[in-house]
Amino acid sequence: MSFLNAFVASPGAPVVSPAAPLAIAPSTARPSAPNGNFATAATGAVAGAVVAAAAGRRRERKRCNRCNVKRQVTVVSEAGTQAGERPKEGKPLKVIVAGGGVGGLTCAFSMLKQGWDVRVFEKTGKFARFGGPIQFASNATSTLKAIDECLFERVMQKFTVTATRRCGIKDGLRSNGEFRMTDVLNPSYFLDPEAPADWFISFPLKECADFFNLPYTGVINRPDLQDILLDECKAQKEDFITNGVSVVGYENHDKGVTVKLSDGTTEEADILVGADGIWSAVRAQMYNEGKVKEGKVKERSKDGNSIQGCRYSGYTVFAGETVLEVPDYYECGYKVYIGPQRYFVTSDVGDGRIQWYAFCALPPGTHKAGDTWAGEGADAKEGADVISYLKGLHEGWSSEVFYVLDNTDAESVEQRDLYDRWPEFFRSWADGNVVLMGDAVHPMMPNLGQGGCQAIEDAYELTRILSANKTYAEDFDPKVTAEALENFYKSRMPRVAGISLLSGLASDLIINAFGTPWSPHDDKGTDWRSYLTLGWKPFLQFIFFPLQFLFLYSNHPSGGMGDLPQRMKEEWEKRHKKSAEAAFAAKRLGKPTRHWQQGGGASLLISTNGIDSIHLGLEAHK
Ligand SMILES: Cc1cc2nc3c(=O)[nH]c(=O)nc-3n(C[C@H](O)[C@H](O)[C@H](O)COP(=O)(O)OP(=O)(O)OC[C@H]3O[C@@H](n4cnc5c(N)ncnc54)[C@H](O)[C@@H]3O)c2cc1C
């Protein structure tokens, strides 16, 4: 049974609300504020047809979906008019989106669903199926559902849930290699030298999602996400995207905006959305950050520590992926091993795979592995060297870390220097009829896994605010549209700034103020950080992390979903076990198991015609 089907069939499903936030395009009324009943609104009017169709006829299903939306619009427009006096529909908003990453594609899709005339220009020449998993927290899955039921369902079908299992912080030095699931709050740790002390904090991810009745946080492979987004957009407008052409500039005027492209041509639009990632050409012009040449602006500051207004965060990250049957595979979502000057994260990413990240406080440019995120894969030698290098950096750490490193294929290792920016509190994200979203205006550290989630929230909110300004019978007024873009900045800035600051704080705190917790039984943690870390434990476990995750999940435009999350989890568990067992069995038989190997590399967008290659969500940080 599909998730959606399961939901609609549920006797406990919430009551159908009359209006879905993004379901009815041109309305004279501002769409109702996101509320707990939205999920059912989309299903009530739209999903009946969706559920009825067979799985193999997905495109057909979507047509039904759109037909229903159109029928609703007609009812809205005809209300209050006499027969024969129906007003002429205004022109659809013409939108150009710079960038086809997570944010740009989601934005394009939610706007296409409104019936708007949307075109995406993507710098990279061609999409390809490369790239590792991306975490979507409950706030993002809720937003996807508010944008579109089919989109949500398709993402959920490819999802690996992490939050329903133990996720949290482990002691990078004292975890003893048994991958134990010990009690985080066991006080016998102080008295009994044999009492396990490896789990430091357990994140209340499930509890916080249950508080709002949201689907649980998990991961999806970037290529799967990209396929789904492209497919959904194409179902709305086949030729919505042009690859291999960058946006290089713009000019506001009283009728909208002229968009300048890298092929020397220009396009007229009502709105330009700059979703062109951390090295945004649109932002470069808006904030006067340097000259744009062929969609690239990378002016380095005099001290060399920042590029185009983005500072080097102080951290470089190494990542790898392996199929590995660790003893706690089914019991753990993700583990953050903390230790001096660095931390090491492992996460179940489905199909028996573990993805790991090593976050190290190192100067920029310590390239030990290729940046396959940017299209340059490491060769076997580079990879092997980087594994020995990382093992050297983690000398004295838990054998759990070494077990994962030793079992990783050398070529899968990638490295990236991490850049971020201060939140834009005071400078508007909008300039006339041009607006920035996603990493273009708020790139953030990946510690909370929220960069892509916030880009999705931006896409939803931008569409919602713009659609509120449109009446059925009127064209968009450029002045009103510009005001709407300004309102978008005001509405999104406080939340995004908070999350961006929390993300930065997480890495700075873990690396600079966290140490191996003090223990009366050994001398592994003896400096001020160790005492502080131990002292913080109850505050972090009972106050900080619950508040942090409640804050993250507090934006959930789908509203609560009744018992759907629980039923989705049960269905997912069966799929997860089956695919993991198949991968473990294949590995035992020596068959190839690696996704990245099957895809051919770790980049979603492959280089063509000498244009940079990147993958969804990870534009080259070089
Ligand atoms: C190591 C790491 C792990 C991460 N993990 C997570 C995670 O688990 N969860 C999460 O939510 N986020 C995560 N993020 C962050 C997330 O990847 C980004 O925040 C997100 O992808 C931003 O989406 P975007 O669409 O704004 O930008 P991008 O995804 O960078 O897309 C920008 C697009 O614009 C194109 N482009 C660039 N310039 C131009 C131009 N001038 N004209 C036209 N096109 C252009 C690029 O080719 C690209 O396709 C992680 C980041 C890193 C570095």
Give the total number of structural domains in the chain: 1
Mean pLDDT of 58-70: 42
Tell me the average pLDDT across 199-224: 95
Residue 184's nearest CA partner among 175, 355, 292, 425 is 175
Write the pLDDT tens digit of every residue in 1-35.
Answer: 343 333 333 333 332 233 344 543 333 333 333 33
Only one residue has tokens 């002016």, namely 299
What is the 280 CA–ligand 1 centroid distance (Å)?
11
Rg of the chain over Cα atoms, rounded to whole angstroms, equals 24
Identity of the amino acid at 590: G
- Please report whether residue 51 resides in a domain: no
For position 391, what pLDDT does the model report?
94
Distance from C-alpha of 94 to C-alpha of 100, rounded to nearest angstrom: 17
Q: How far is the CA of 376 from the centre of ligand 1 (A)?
A: 17
Q: Is residue 239 part of a domain?
A: yes
Distance 433 CA to ligand 1 centre (A): 23
Instruction: Quote the strand ranges of 362-465, DSSP E.
Output: 414-420, 430-431, 434-436
| Contact in structure between 54 and 44 (CB atoms under 8 Å) | no
Confidence at residue 73, expressed as pLDDT on a 0 to 100 scale: 39
Q: How confident is the model at residue 361 (pLDDT cuts 50, 70, 90)?
A: confident
Mutation test residue for ligand 1: of 221, 458, 618, 622, the one with most atoms within 8 Å of CB: 618
Report how far ligand 1's centroid is from the alpha carbon of 310 (Å): 14
Residue 308, in any domain of the structure = yes
Centre of ligand 1 from the C-alpha of residue 516, in Å: 33
Q: Which atom of ligand 1 is nearest to the CA of 440?
A: 26
Q: How far is the CA of 278 from the centre of ligand 1 (A)?
A: 7
Yes or no: say if 412 and 595 are a contact pair by the CB < 8 Å rule.
no
Cβ neighbours of 1 (radius 10 Å) = 10
Which among 312-321, 519-528, 557-566, 597-606 has the top mean pLDDT?
557-566
265 lies in some domain: yes
pLDDT interval class at 566 (50, 70, 90): very high
Of 90, 91, 108, nearest to 99 (Cα)?
A: 108
- The confidence band for 82, taking pLDDT boundaries of 50, 70 and 90, is low
**Structure tokens given for 454:** 């916030």
CA 66 to CA 387: how far, in whole Å?
51
Cα 561 from chain centre: 21
**What number does the ligand 1 atom closest to the CA of 246 have?**
42
- Measure 481 CA to ligand 1 centroid, in angstroms: 26
Residue 46, domain member (yes or no)? no
Asked if the structure places residue 569 within a domain, the reply is yes
pLDDT for res 165:
96
- Distance of CA 606 from the midpoint of ligand 1 (Å): 15
Q: How far is CA 279 from CA 260, 275, 337, 420, in A?
A: 17, 10, 31, 11
270-42-229 Cα angle (round to 5) = 55
Measure Cα distances from 28 to 76, 111, 467, 472, 474 in Å: 9, 17, 9, 6, 10
| Three-state secondary structure string covering 487-547 | HHHHHHHHHHHHHHHHHHHHHHHHHHHCCCCCCCCCCCCCCHHHHHHHHHHHHHHHHHHHH
Residue 39 CA to ligand 1 center (angstroms) comes to 28
pLDDT interval class at 130 (50, 70, 90)? low
**What pLDDT is attached to residue 190?**
84
For the ranges 184-193, 200-209, 511-520, the one whose mean pLDDT is highest? 200-209
**DSSP string spanning 285-347?**
HHTT----BTTB--PBPTTSSEETTEEEEEEEEEEEEEE---TTTTTEEEEEEEETTEEEEEE
Residue nearest to atom 35 of ligand 1 (CA): 99
Q: Where does the pLDDT of residue 464 fall: very low under 50, low under 70, confident under 90, or very high at 90 and above? A: very high
Q: Please compute, for residue 64, the number of CA atoms within 13 A of its CA located in the half-sphere on the CB side.
A: 19
What is the Å distance from ligand 1's center to 614 Cα?
A: 9
- From 96, 120, 121, 122, the mutation candidate for ligand 1 (largest count of ligand atoms within 8 A of CB) is 122
Treating both helix axes as pointing N-terminal to C-terminal, what angle do 102-112 and 222-236 enclose, rounded to 10 degrees? 30
In a domain? residue 370: yes
User: Could you count the other beta carbons within 10 Å of the beta carbon of residue 32?
Assistant: 15
Atom index in ligand 1 nearest the CA of residue 104 equals 25
Q: What is the mean pLDDT of the chain?
A: 80
Task: Tell how far the Cα of 590 is from the centroid of ligand 1, in angstroms.
Answer: 35
Question: How far is ligand 1, taken at its centre, from the CA of residue 153, in Å?
Answer: 23
- Give me the domain span that covers residue 372: 87-622
> Whose Cα sits closest to atom 3 in ligand 1?
446
Pocket test for ligand 1, best of 124, 260, 276 (most atoms within 8 A of CB): 276
Query: What is the number of the ligand 1 atom nearest to the C-alpha of 276?
Result: 34
Best probe residue, ligand 1, of 96, 102, 105 (max atoms within 8 Å of C-beta): 102
Spatial separation of the C-alpha atoms in residues 569 and 571, rounded to whole Å = 5
- Beta carbons within 10 angstroms of residue 296's beta carbon: 18
Which helix (H) or strand (E) covers residue 359, if one does? strand 353-361
Res 513: pLDDT: 78
- Give me the pLDDT at residue 309, please: 86
Give the model confidence (pLDDT) of 131-183 as tens digits: 678 999 999 999 999 999 999 999 999 999 999 999 999 999 999 888 988 88
pLDDT in the model for residue 615: 35
Structural contact between residues 201 and 233, judged by C-beta atoms closer than 8 angstroms: no
CA 455 / ligand 1 centre spacing (Å): 9
Nearest ligand 1 atom, CA 280: 38
Average pLDDT for 23-49:
35
CA 77–ligand 1 middle distance (angstroms):
39
> pLDDT by residue (tens digit) across 221-256?
998 999 999 999 999 999 999 999 999 999 999 999
User: Whose C-alpha lies nearest to ligand 1, atom 9?
Assistant: 449
How far apart are alpha carbons 22 and 114 in whole angstroms?
A: 7
Please, what sign has the CA dihedral across residues 258, 488, 550, 315? positive
Q: Going by CA atoms, what residue is nearest to atom 37 of ligand 1?
A: 276
Residue 8 lies in a domain: no
What atom in ligand 1 is closest to the CA of residue 133? 8
CA of 390 to the centre of ligand 1 (A): 26
Return the structure tokens found at 424.
């834009």
Distances (CA, A) of 488 to 324, 368, 392, 478, 483: 44, 41, 48, 15, 9
Q: Is pLDDT at 375 greater than 60 in this prediction?
A: no
User: If you average pLDDT over residues 65-87, what whole number do you get?
Assistant: 47
Residue type, 99: G
**Which of 318, 346, 439 for mutating ligand 1's site (highest number of atoms within 8 Å of CB)?**
439
- Nearest ligand 1 atom to the CA of 134 is 8
Q: What is the CATH number of the domain that holds 471?
A: 3.50.50.60
* Confidence band, pLDDT 50/70/90 cuts, at residue 38: very low
For the whole model, what pTM was predicted? 0.84
Ligand 1 binding pocket (C-beta < 6 A) is 98-104, 121-124, 134-135, 246-247, 275-277, 281, 295, 317, 416, 438-440, 446, 449-453, 455, 605, 614, 616-619
What is the arithmetic mean of pLDDT over 411-424?
87
Nearest CA to ligand 1 atom 30: 277
Give the pLDDT score at 18.
Answer: 30
Pair 71, 401: CB distance under 8 Å: no
Lowest mean pLDDT among 35-44, 128-137, 329-338, 379-388: 35-44
Helix or strand (DSSP H, E) at 221: strand 218-221
